[in-house]
Amino acid sequence: MSAAPDHNPTFAEVTLMQRLDKALPVLLIPLLVVIGLLAIGNPSSWLTLTVSGLAMGMLIFAMASGFTLVFGLMDVINFGHGAFISVGAFVGVSVLAWLGTWTEAPSLMLNVLAVLFAGIAAMGISGLLGWGFERVIVQPVYGAHLKQILVTMGGLIVVEQMIHVIWGPNEIFINRPEMLKGAITFGAVAIEKFRLLAVAVGLILFVAMRLVLKRTKIGLIVRAGVQNGEMVQALGYRLRLVFIGTFIAGSALAGLGGVLWALYQEVVTAGMGEHMMVLVFIVVIIGGLGSVEGAFIGALLVGLLQNYVAFLEPKLALISNIGLMTAILLWRPQGMLPVVKAK
Amino acid sequence: MSDPILRLSGLYTDIAQYHILQGVDLEVPRGQVTMLLGRNGVGKTTTLRSIIGHWQARAGSITFDGADVTALPVASRVKAGMGYVPEDMGIFTDLTVEENMRLAARSGPLDAARLEWIFGAFPALKTFWGAEAGNLSGGQKQMLSIARVMAEERKLYLIDEPTKGLAPAIVSTMSRALRDLKEQGASILLVEQNFAVARALGDSVAVMDDGKIIWTGEMAELAENKALQEQLMGLSMEVH
Amino acid sequence: MLTKLLSGDSPRSVILSALLIAVLVCLAFAPFLFPGVRALETAATICIFIVLAASYDLLLGYTGIVSFAHTMFFGLGAYGVALASTHMGRGFDALIVGTVAGAVLAAILAAVIGLFSLRVRAIFFAMITLAVASAVAVLVSQMSGLTGGEDGLNYKIPRELTPAFKLMDDKLFGVRVNGKLLNYYLVFLASFALVLVMLRVVNSPFGRVLQAIRENDFRAEAIGYHVVTYRIIATCLSAAIAALAGSLYAIWLRYVGPDTTLSFEIMLDILLMVVIGGMGTIYGAILGAVLLVLAQNYLQDLMEGAVPAVEGLPLLPELLSPERWLLWLGILFILSVYFFPTGIVGRLRKPRA
């Protein structure tokens, strides 16, 4: 027999090191917030920007979470993920227009209900589209990254063009529901109401997702599947079903992100999904492909940085995110919290 | 005891362009430990992977507990009663020991009595119950991988090299646990390179070479016949 | 002699050879065969897109890496010429400085992106190039002081390459021999030379290693080739040639703008050209470019013509409107990846293979 591994490793120390390792990325968020304050100087503008950065981050996270899980589970790169964002936005906006009497009424409850319905409709349609997309576009190209990238990109274009066919060639401007317009002011600080709602929705989403992933059996299966899909099957679970479920859920979340993003920007275009995918890619790359926590941290970093830089030097906003990605990849080439694939 | 729990007939499995299994015929009797022996690279792991379904056989059939499972997906074979411990242990390192065990109990919560039995065999797992499995030592990971398959009653246990690379102290813990399993009347198909362990556990033996079974018989017969060992495996196996 | 010119990579199919010769002859004599401004524009565009698509094939087909930044490199070459011509004044020196600067910058940028992404996972490359390319496109349209923003840049090129320059007073076979004609032949000959260079590259030992990596990168690494280095070199080469194509385009058009060089639609066109023509053959990129540019210039008219015919029917007019061109490209793209993965060249070569 050759030398065997140590039977009694220094267990506590390893944990401490690893904890530190995992905690570092989280600490980047407060670090960025503090740097933002120093750079901006004016606390009230800083607070406004921080809230809108967090809101943006939460929405990007909603869009990115499905993408990263789908990759983690089945090694599928879905460049067409942006299609669900756009479709969700258009469906949601149509529902809001249809519920015009609710959105125009000066009642917070009716307004929120309208947004809720729009969100549910968007999730439903995007989820359905995701199901079809998985069957028609993704399934025939399992295991072939090159074809996956090409075919899902083709799928994105087709869906985008169909949006033009259905909803017309132009962008649609929308009004936020009556009570979600304007800002709440605390002294000198003005914070848009809708951004607060977006932060709240994003937080609820993140907490709910964490609970599902940590506490439920299905979450356990998904987390295990991201690491070692073969073993999950060998324990008797149908990985394929789990994957389809995740794909649909991820598409639905992208759709929800789409509606909220449309309300955030007050405009929808067929190309918005494609544009958001640029941010989604940056977020999942810096977060570590396949990692939900990583995507969350990455999304907040991107949202905050984008807002701070847009205030300081508008032209550099998008480039600043490329800079962030470069810096993080220099620090950790696999992203902040890469998923350890057990092979 | 008449019909075997598992029968492979004329099993051919390809991996990419390589023909790894070239007509494997094997019967695993109920309530016994069958050792699958042979040099490295003759197809032992591929045989186990074909049985559980990670590789789809190109030709031949797999009969499990009287039913043909050749075309079934992995999950259905597990549901039918197979349990599998892969050579690389397949530990979910990001999950805790507890979560690994919960996943292993497919049909519901962990059975308390079983858990006591597992903790009895592997006390380390109790100590590190809430810890991330990635932080376990190699031996503890191997214990966890065996514990997972013990978490539910299986009709057949497929175990690939459970003592590979382990310190002697842990090898004996492992063999004790497997003996325990055997004494409960389990049917086990075990791939093992450590002949001492194989001899202590095995009832019958199948020896593989070049993708085929070249010899089957009783463990006692092989254990006493050095010449046969050398002839079958091309090397004399060290006996500790 | 011919085989040597083609670096020993003959088309290996009678039909394919015939098609390629036809393309070559048509392009070589385009001004005389197809009179008219529009035909000449189309011919020049075909030449340039052949180079662009073939340089993309170098990456996609020969190394199996998907890049979405090819238009960015194309744009670098084009803006290089435009900026040099704007700031140095009209002249051949400006064209040369702009072209060289564009190609060198493209290669450097490609190397940096490659170092960041290919070192880790090849799939990072697709995502990172998409992110970087769209950031650059946004930057270009925002920095209007330097780049002219969305409007782009108009500039003067040497008089010898413009219609104002007359070489002969008489017409030659009914064609005016002026600077425009010279410009066309500059584009044609440069494109022809670049295609031969690329054939040379893919049939060199270097090219063979690339193909070995595409087939099985683990094995290539095991044999002792440093996969990442080869991939990065291929990326740089492909980017530099794309930039050269961009410079040619800028010289031909005397205008650059985000829509003509950087847009995502052009990226899709390139992808489609390579996939439909046949990945990993260079010849496929040639056929794909010809087909797609022709379709874009003439088929859209046809679609426009079809719209009145289906007027009144539900949905069909919208589906057939030329604005929905991309829809059909997208569908064609998906179908060709599924059912036609070896492209036209693959199909033509098959019976003999």
Domains of chain C, start order: 2-352 (1.10.3470)
User: Which tokens hold the place of A248?
Assistant: 């649909």
The pLDDT assigned to C271 comes to 92
Question: Nearest CA to CA, how far is A324 from chain B (Å)?
Answer: 27
* Residue range A5-30: mean pLDDT, rounded: 66
Q: What pLDDT does B237 receive? A: 47
Q: What pLDDT does residue C173 have?
A: 73
Interface residues on A facing B, Cβ-Cβ cutoff 8 A? 1-2, 4-9, 11, 14-15, 18, 217, 220-221, 223-224, 227-228, 230-239, 339-340, 342-343
Closest partner residue to C127 (CB to CB) among A154, A156, A285 is A285
Helix A81-98 to helix A108-133 angle (10° resolution) is 140
- Mark A101-137 as b/e (b = at least 16 C-beta within 10 Å): ebbebeeeebbeebbebbbbbbbebbbebbbebbeeb
Answer whether B156's CB lies under 8 Å from B80's CB.
no
Contact A224 B194 (CB under 8 A): no
Mean pLDDT, residues B176-180 taken together: 92
| Residue C228, number of CB atoms within 10 A of its CB | 17
More confident residue, B230 or A320: A320
| Mutation choice for B interface testing from A7, A19, A73, A235 by most B CBs within 10 A | A235
3-state secondary structure of B127: helix
Nearest CA in chain A to C133: A278
Residue B1's pLDDT is 47
Q: Minimal CA–CA distance to C47: which of C27, C67, C25?
A: C27
Q: What H or E segment, with its residue span, contains residue B38?
A: none
The arithmetic mean of pLDDT across residues B4-22, rounded, is 90
Mutation to test the C interface, candidates A142, A150, A315, A343, most C Cβ within 10 Å:
A150
Is A145 in Cβ contact with C123 (below 8 Å)? yes
Give the model confidence (pLDDT) of A76-118 as tens digits: 889 999 999 999 999 999 999 999 888 888 888 899 999 999 9
All structural domains of chain B with their residue ranges: 6-81+154-233, 93-152
Closest chain A residue to the Cα of C118, Cα to Cα = A333
Shortest Cα distance, chain A CAs vs residue C220, angstroms: 18
**Cα distance between the two ends of chain C:** 24
Shortest Cα distance from C161 to chain A (angstroms)? 37
Contact state of A220 with B95 under an 8 Å Cβ cutoff: yes
Residues of chain C whose pLDDT is less than 50?
352-353
Structure confidence by residue, pLDDT tens digits, A192-215 = 888 999 999 999 999 999 999 998
Mutate which: B135, B161, B195, vs A, most A CBs within 10 A: B135
3-state secondary structure of B171: helix
Give the integer Cα–Cα distance in Å for C129 and C60.
13
pLDDT of residue C353: 39
One-character DSSP codes across A124-178: HHHHHHHHHHIIIIIGGGTT-HHHHHHHHHHHHHHHHHHHHHHH-SS-EE-PPPG
What is the enclosing helix (H) or strand (E) of A112? helix A108-133
Chains that touch B (3 or more CB pairs under 8 A): A
Report pLDDT for A9.
44
User: Which of B16-20, B220-224, C175-179, C198-202 has the weakest average pLDDT?
Assistant: C175-179
For B138-154, the pLDDT digits (tens) are 899 999 999 999 999 99
According to the model, what pLDDT value does residue A342 have?
47
Q: What is the predicted pLDDT for the residue at C147?
A: 86
More confident residue, A104 or A300: A300
Interface test with C, best of A71, A149, A321, A341 (most C CBs within 10 A): A149
Residues of C in contact with A318 (CB under 8 A): 134-135, 138-139
| pLDDT confidence band for A122 (50 / 70 / 90) | very high
What is the pLDDT confidence band of residue A340, given thresholds at 50, 70 and 90?
low
- How many angstroms separate the CA of residue B210 from the nearest CA in chain A? 25
Q: Do C126 and A162 touch (CB under 8 A)?
A: no
DSSP track, A46-95? HHHHHHHHHHHHHHHHHHHHHHHHHHHHH----TTHHHHHHHHHHHHHHH
CB contacts, 8 Å: B88 with chain A: 342-343
* Angle of CA points B83, B84, B90, to nearest 5°: 135
pLDDT at C351: 56
Does residue B134 belong to the interface with chain A, where contact is any CB pair within 8 Å? yes
Interatomic CA distance for residues C93 and C84, integer angstroms: 9
Closest chain A residue to the Cα of B150, Cα to Cα: A235
B95 has a chain A CB within 8 A of its CB? yes
CB pairs under 8 A between A and B: 105
* Residue in C135, C337, C341 closest to A319 by CB: C135
Q: Do B95 and A233 lie within an 8 Å CB cutoff?
A: no
Instruction: Give me the residue from C64, C130, C268 closest to A146, CB to CB.
Output: C64
Please report, for chain A, the start and end positions of each structural domain, with discontinuous segments joined by +: 45-270
Other CB atoms within 10 A of residue C74 CB:
34
Q: Chain-wide mean pLDDT for chain B?
A: 89
Give me the long-range contacts of B89-92 (CB less than 8 A, separation at least 24): B89/B141, B89/B142, B89/B144, B89/B145, B90/A228, B90/A230, B90/A231, B90/A234, B90/A342, B90/B145, B91/A342, B91/B133, B91/B134, B91/B136, B91/B141, B91/B144, B91/B145, B92/A223, B92/A224, B92/A227, B92/A228, B92/A231, B92/A342, B92/B133
What pLDDT is attached to residue A249? 94
Q: Over 60: is that where the pLDDT of A14 sits?
A: no
Task: Name the residue in chain A with its Cα closest to that of C320.
Answer: A165
pLDDT at A16: 67
Element (H, E) at C168: strand C166-172
Check B139 against A221: CB less than 8 A apart.
no
Pick the CATH number of B6-81+154-233 from 3.90.76.10, 3.40.50.300, 1.20.210.10, 3.40.50.970: 3.40.50.300
Predicted local confidence at residue A319, as pLDDT: 87
The pLDDT of residue B234 is: 63
**Does C124 lie at the interface with A, CB-CB under 8 angstroms?**
yes
pLDDT at B239: 44
N- to C-terminal Cα distance for chain A? 24
**Separation of alpha carbons B71 and B53, rounded Å:** 8
pLDDT value for A173 = 92
Can you tell me the mean pLDDT for B206-233?
87
